[in-house]
Structure 1
Amino acid sequence: MTTGDDVRAATARIAGRVRRTPVLRDGAALFKLEYLQHTGSFKARGMLNRVLAAAQRGALPPAGIIAASGGNAGLAAAYAAREVGVPAEVFVPVTAPPVKVAKLGKLGARVVQTGAEYAEAYAAAVVQAEATGALFCHAYDDPDMVAGNGSAGLELLEQLPDGFDTVLVAVGGGGLVAGVAAALHGHARVVAVEPQGCATLASALAAGAPVDVPVSGVAADSLGARRIGRIGYEVAVRTRVSSVLVSDEAIVDARRRLWQDYRIVVEHGAATAQAALTGGAYVPAAGERVVVLLCGANTDPADLG
């Protein structure tokens, strides 16, 4: 299981290769602007750690890496592969946003579009990795990925030395929430925020184990895993992560308000975390200091007006 020690080791490994993303303070509002990370999402942290750790172990083959993704993990895979000089092949569902598919090509990845949702692209990617000998890089349920993602949490501790109480984190497969929860365990609570249309963690916590869930809604391109990852579930249970659910309407409204109030442009998956506050699913206690982690910005801003 991923621990704070794993996160600290990952943070040292990827140092100088990822951006230290800023924290925006506006009155009581605190935002971790992780959408400013390389490739436009937090995924660059975990994927770089996955690839660099494999290289250190002598387990990075000449065939390069293969990943399945709704878009963001694929972008991170292409970026990480380019950083270390190996090929990348990325499998995405046919529903992946064109803006993400176009970026994959620009980063030099071979893109294969298959299946209607992430789970189908994932199955095809696993078969291809076995056939070619390439390193399969799971988008979220991998210890190196989770530990690298957690480096964002360690940054928060450094950036807010006067402390904070809670971090709101959008959840799909659980790779980000697990890393942040491991990094902040004993320092601050982590609350998972999930779309009602793909509530992987809430369903797992209710069932006592990861279970398959239906996948739908405006944030499904980035949060549309069919079930929470094993690591995400185990870390959430150990660190007592709770989950709140938000509607598509609340997500759309939060995304629009982030643009109108702060000129912040994020994808629906990232706006999910903010929707917990603006939609009332999470109501902070008096004096509670809440950080909203805005995790990705690979979106078409044309509909923001």
Structure 2
Amino acid sequence: MVTKSDIRAAADRIAGHVVRTPVLMSAGLWDRPVALKLEQLQVTGSFKPRGAFNTLLSCKVPDAGVVAASGGNHGAAVAHAARALGHRARIFVPEIAGPSKIALIERSGAELTVVPGEYADAAQMAARLAEEQGALQIHAYDAPATIAGQGTVMAEWEAQGLTADTVLIAVGGGGLIAGALAWLQTARKVVAVEPGTCNTLGRALTAGEPVDVPVSGVAANALGARRIGQACFDLARAQDIAVVTVTDPAIIEAQRALWQSHRLLVEPAGACALAALLSGAYRPEPGESVAVLVCGGNIAPDPAFD
């Protein structure tokens, strides 16, 4: 289990390798002010370098280097961290990763393999290569060092003065929200937001254990894990957190709202948590203050947002 001490140690370890992302109090997105943590402004365009750097800096990396499977953002983060620290990196992504994320990984100098299918297919190939060649596999979401690194987002946000009663966080494999739950414990209400087309956490909580789910939709290249991570599942069940789902049109509308209100360009996954608020999938109580974690921005500009 990841502890607050683990997250504090991770924050010290990755200092100087990641940036302290800003917080915006938005008065124009909803009918009351909403605090936004702009993690799409992180190095490589998402929160993922936090976990990647923490992993690489907390273990001995073999001569064979590192291997990672990713929907795109984790791969870009591992590639960046590996290059910064002088390690060879091989990244496997599914073909749905999208051109902007694939190009980002290619620019890092990592060896990239695009795999037919989904994230799970890329993960199988990465695991096989790591075993065959003795490389270090950096899991995208279900590993203690990854989760501790992602937990530094919430530690940093609280240090920046977070006062909201409730925090909305998008869920794919669950590394980000697991880190948040490990840091917050029960100090604030955490709401997990999932696309209805890849709702791994909600389905797992209903089933009583992680289960495979179909993956599709506009956010699948970032939130398209086929099965929730065990660590996230255990934390979510222990803390009995709320889970809501949002539609693809709601996600797209939240993307547009962020662009039109604040000129913030985010990918669908980055707008997923906000979509719950704007669409009414999550309805706060009167007087309940809300914060939203904007987790990624790796997408090409779309003129339709204007």
| TM-score bracket for this pair, using the shorter chain length | over 0.9
Give 2:294's aligned amino acid.
L
User: Does the CA-based 8 Å contact 1:181-1:241 persist in structure 2?
Assistant: no
Give matches, 1:45-194, under 5 Å. Answer: 45-54=50-59, 59-160=60-161, 163-194=163-194
CA deviations over 1:124-151 (Å, ceiling 9, x no partner): 1111111111100111111100010000
Distance in 1 separating the partners of 2:236 and 2:18: 25
Distance in 2 separating the partners of 1:289 and 1:12: 30
Kindly tell me the number of residue pairs found equivalent between the two proteins: 300
CA deviations over 1:183-215 (Å, ceiling 9, x no partner): 111321111000000000000110111000010
Give 2:129's aligned amino acid.
Q
Distance in 2 separating the partners of 1:140 and 1:272: 18
Q: Partner of 1:44 in structure 2?
A: 49
Q: Partner of 2:297 in structure 1?
A: 297
CA deviations over 1:38-66 (Å, ceiling 9, x no partner): 00000010111011111xxxx31111100
Distance in 1 separating the partners of 2:186 and 2:204: 23
User: Does the CA-based 8 Å contact 1:71-1:221 persist in structure 2?
Assistant: yes
Distance in 2 separating the partners of 1:10 and 1:102: 29
CA deviations over 1:67-105 (Å, ceiling 9, x no partner): 000100000000110121001100011121111111111
CA deviations over 1:134-182 (Å, ceiling 9, x no partner): 1001111111000100000001111116x22111000000000000111
Give matches, 1:227-238, under 5 Å. Answer: 227-238=227-238
User: Does the CA-based 8 Å contact 1:141-1:232 persist in structure 2?
Assistant: yes
Shift of 1:26: 2.3
Q: Partner of 1:214 in structure 2?
A: 214
Larger deviation, residues 9-18 vs 189-198: 9-18
1:261 matched to 2:295: no
Shift of 1:287: 1.7
Runs (4+) of structure 1 exceeding 3 A deviation are none
User: Does the CA-based 8 Å contact 1:181-1:189 persist in structure 2?
Assistant: no
User: Mind listing any 5+ residue stretches in structure 1 that lack a counterpart?
Assistant: none
3-state SS in 1 of match to 2:17: coil
User: Does the CA-based 8 Å contact 1:2-1:235 persist in structure 2?
Assistant: no
User: Does the CA-based 8 Å contact 1:212-1:227 persist in structure 2?
Assistant: yes
3-state SS in 1 of match to 2:217: coil
3-state SS in 1 of match to 2:2: coil
Structure 2 length-normalised TM: 0.96
User: Mind listing any 5+ residue stretches in structure 2 that lack a counterpart?
Assistant: 28-32
Distance in 2 separating the partners of 1:298 and 1:248: 17
Distance in 2 separating the partners of 1:92 and 1:187: 36
User: Does the CA-based 8 Å contact 1:34-1:293 persist in structure 2?
Assistant: yes
**CA RMSD, aligned part only?**
1.1
Give 2:175's aligned amino acid.
G
Distance in 2 separating the partners of 1:115 and 1:50: 27
3-state SS in 2 of match to 1:194: strand
Structure 1 length-normalised TM: 0.96
